[in-house]
Amino acid sequence: MDLLSGRKANEIFEGQVHVYKHMYVYLNSMCLKWCIELEVPTIIYNHEKPITLHELISILQVPPSKISGVERLMRHLSHNGFFDIVTIHDDDDENKEEKEAYALTIASELLVKGTEYCLIPMAKCSLDPSVSSSYNLLGKWTLEENLTLSEISLGTNLWNFLSKNPSILTSFNESMASDSQMVKLALKDHNAVFEGLESIVDVGSGNGTVSKIISDMFPKLKCIVFDLPHVVENFSGTNSNNLSFIGGDMFNFIPEADAVLLKWILHDWDDEHCVKILKKCKDAISKNTKGGKAIIIDFVINEKQDEFGLTQMKLRMDIAMTTLNGKERSEEEFKKLFLEAGFEDYKIFPLTGMYSLIVVFS
């Protein structure tokens, strides 16, 4: 029996389109990588006005045989929201001929080098072949008992790989720092979460970008950056009056404070490890007589509310985390962790388009 014998032709064609769209979706990432490697957004920014194809290929020194390719790459990126194609008049042309030019959008403005909210480090780290190529082994990962995808593709778990490759660890920390700049923008509307605190420990935060942001916002708040010893050893010399770095293992202890901050930490771990982390958080804040709290910045999956298509992106991140034995979670899944770790209550606030701010009370 023909499986599709009962289907109309247009239904089959729709199915074909859906399959093909997903077959070639990797080209979206590769075009983005091309754009970043050639610094196209920075070139347009420095041009100080929309740039024509002729001007762009001249700056890039593109050989004649690749001009058409550049035009098509820019068309693809424009179609996907990274550039606007606008009409301009050439001031040097006596006939004032109209020409098409490329202008930055909010997405490509985030890819201009040296700007405050630049996401280039995050994009470069995520698109590094050592990361992206590993997903070719998803089938093998599925059939291997207890091995993470990095253990299959890199021969060791992600954290060991990073610790043994300083340049990649630096890239990873820079990517987390660039993402944290978005948190800086968002925290301006959430000052109340930190009011009344005298101390906070930022767990697993690498170079301490978020702590630096918080310490600048609240000069009287003592901020402790707590990460593995080999991570913080290069930053211990940057201690200031209200910012310090301490090395250790969060599964053994977390320094005492009024609050513990976990940004993009719990999604790295399975439920069992998350409960252990949260219990250590509870121990760390237990001496606060006014009631300590854990402050969590993470994705919260809500498939019933899908503004801007965020659920698809969060589900993709869930795949990435699942292959490392972690996961993205729904509110119910977070609630289960909090209760099992001994916390009494929690509140969830929208933070950025992607992240939520979860405040958990002991």
Which among 22, 79, 267, 273 is annotated as catalytic?
267
Amino acid at site 62 = V
Residues 173, 352, 85: CA angle, nearest 5 degrees: 90
Alpha carbons within 13 angstroms on the beta-carbon side of residue 159 total 13
Strand 259-263 to strand 345-350: parallel, antiparallel, or no bridges (unpaired)?
A: unpaired
* CA pair distance 251, 69, nearest whole angstrom: 51
Q: How far is CA 312 from CA 135, 305, 307, 316, in A?
A: 17, 11, 10, 6
Cα dihedral 142/144/145/147 (nearest 10): -90
Assign 90 to helix, strand or coil: coil
Question: Residue 76 has what DSSP assignment?
Answer: H
Q: Is 267 among the residues known to form the active site?
A: yes
Q: Would you name the residues annotated as active-site residues? A: 267
